[in-house]
Structure 1
């Protein structure tokens, strides 16, 4: 899937921060990246990681758009105010993090926004990394109608009852039976959140429930191994993960 475009084109996209009706009808921010052309094409809800609404995620959205998806990346921290991403995240962390019910409502609303686009082919997936992987899986488990979900090393999918917080009252694994979207999970075997044992437990629960899923695990990689702007980056594993992600999304949603 990498370098799958023709050098003759056409290849174009538009990308910008804009507002959309989030959970409860609140106007919240989102980074929207869309290919040129009339469609029809699938949509993707891209879920921010814990560092927040940052430049890496803007580039993530644009890469997905170049592969034929209408993408919206909601700013789940909108209600905490605005500023530099690191400063906003510090405020979010100090106030106990975004609550699951708020995130799920905003992400469900993003799905509806994508489906209402004149370019929509009627299919929408959801994906994210780190806390975004957790929120993606949680949302796909609680909100019917997503056509695919990608969890990139989502920490906290498996959690003990004593680890519950007001923001995270239930671990997503406890909603496994409600998941009706096919799931792709990508994990590093050196990660500590989730640990390989937690990934094993999640896989066992999915298998027992008869869910449509595929997990891939990478030796020599830990958390955030596709983050090319950090020391966590592992080039070989990251490129294989991109290939698997694009193949999965193409199979479940369409586009190239």
Structure 2
């Protein structure tokens, strides 16, 4: 952990030249340092997502969380914005790629950047972190129980998503995956399939799987929270980013 940090809402130019809101947190001391794009979960650009962004700053990284729902519901309550995003089928993949690329470029342009940027996402954001690792110039990606990297949503599911596993040969950076063995999206079998595809493609990755943990085991404000899995998960994140983004 480092000393003081600062956090503020900023505006960045996202996909298609749209101005979107983002939450930026950074240490007060001088760099150089690596940076992280935090991709928020389906509940949206909310307090827990901002807390995670500050956690990265408290551990020596500059971090930014773009509001992926800025266009659907600018300035709205996170729950209302998430509802609006669900009603429209979620964030289109091409727009997500543009917003993450813009956030990565913004981070690299800040004073003190060492030029290295990683992504991390949870649930739908985990899939989006994997997608970014296929299409965006980033140095490391973390997928926290990303749903539908493998498999397709069930009938009636509000989000329109297609699987990405077949694109494993396109992975552009090292990948860390953190999964609960009691999860249904993704199931352990889904994780097996992704592991097999990445291995066959010769891509650099490491997966950690946790017993007695299901979906959203990092979420301290939910009954799904599993302290043992979350503590080890954070340990793996710091080790992974320390290797690929700089300590």
When residues 201 and 26 of structure 1 are mapped into structure 2, their CA distance, relative to the original with a 3 A threshold, is same
Q: CA deviation at 1:92?
A: 1.1
Query: Deviations 1:9-42 (Å, cap 9, x if unpaired)?
Result: x601111121111112211000100111221111
Residues 87-126 of structure 1 mapped to structure 2, 5 A cutoff = 87-126=80-119
Unpaired segments ≥5 residues, structure 1: none
Give the whole-Å Cα distance in 2 for the aligned partners of 1:190 and 1:74.
Answer: 30
Asked if the contact 1:42/1:122 (under 8 Å) is kept, the reply is yes
> Who is 2:246 aligned against?
254
Higher mean Cα deviation, 205-214 or 134-143? 134-143
In 2, Cα distance between the equivalents of 1:192 and 1:21? 36
Provide the C-alpha distance between the structure 1 equivalents of 2:152 and 2:128, rounded to a whole number of angstroms: 17
- Partner SS for 1:137: helix
Does residue 71 (structure 1) correspond to residue 58 (structure 2)? The answer is no
The equivalent residue for 2:203 is 211
| Partner of residue 234, structure 2 | 242
The one-character-per-residue Cα deviations of 1:107-163 (angstroms, maximum 9, x if unpaired) are 0111111111121101000111100110011011012x2110000000010125998
The match for 2:225 is: 233
Q: Which moved more, 1:32-41 or 1:189-198?
A: 32-41
Structure-to-structure mapping, 1:22-171, within 5 angstroms:
22-81=14-73, 82-143=75-136, 145-160=137-152, 168=160, 170-171=162-163
CA contact (8 A) 1:44 1:71 kept: yes
CA RMSD of aligned residues (A): 1.8
Contact 1:99 1:166 in 2 (8 A): no
Q: How many angstroms apart in 2 are the aligned matches of 1:162 and 1:225?
A: 22
Gaps of 5+ in 2: none
Give yes or no for contact 1:39–1:121 (8 Å, CA) kept in 2: yes
For residues 48-94 of structure 1, give each alpha carbon's deviation from its aligned partner in whole angstroms, at most 9, with x where no partner exists: 11110000000000001111111010000000123111111111111
How many residues are matched? 245
Give CA deviations for 1:188-214 in whole Å, capped at 9, x if unaligned.
000000000000000000000001000
SS in 1 for 2:21: strand
Tell me how far apart the structure 1 counterparts of residues 154 and 42 of structure 2 sit (CA, whole Å).
Answer: 21
Hey, what's the Cα distance between the residues in 2 that align with 1:227 and 1:184?
Answer: 18
Would you say the 8 A contact 1:64–1:71 is kept in 2? Answer: yes
For the pair 1:175 / 2:167, whether they are aligned, the reply is: yes
Q: CA deviation at 1:169?
A: 5.7
Q: In 1, Cα distance between the equivalents of 2:221 and 2:153?
A: 34
- Secondary structure of the structure 2 residue equivalent to 1:141: helix
2:176 corresponds to which of 184, 187, 198: 184
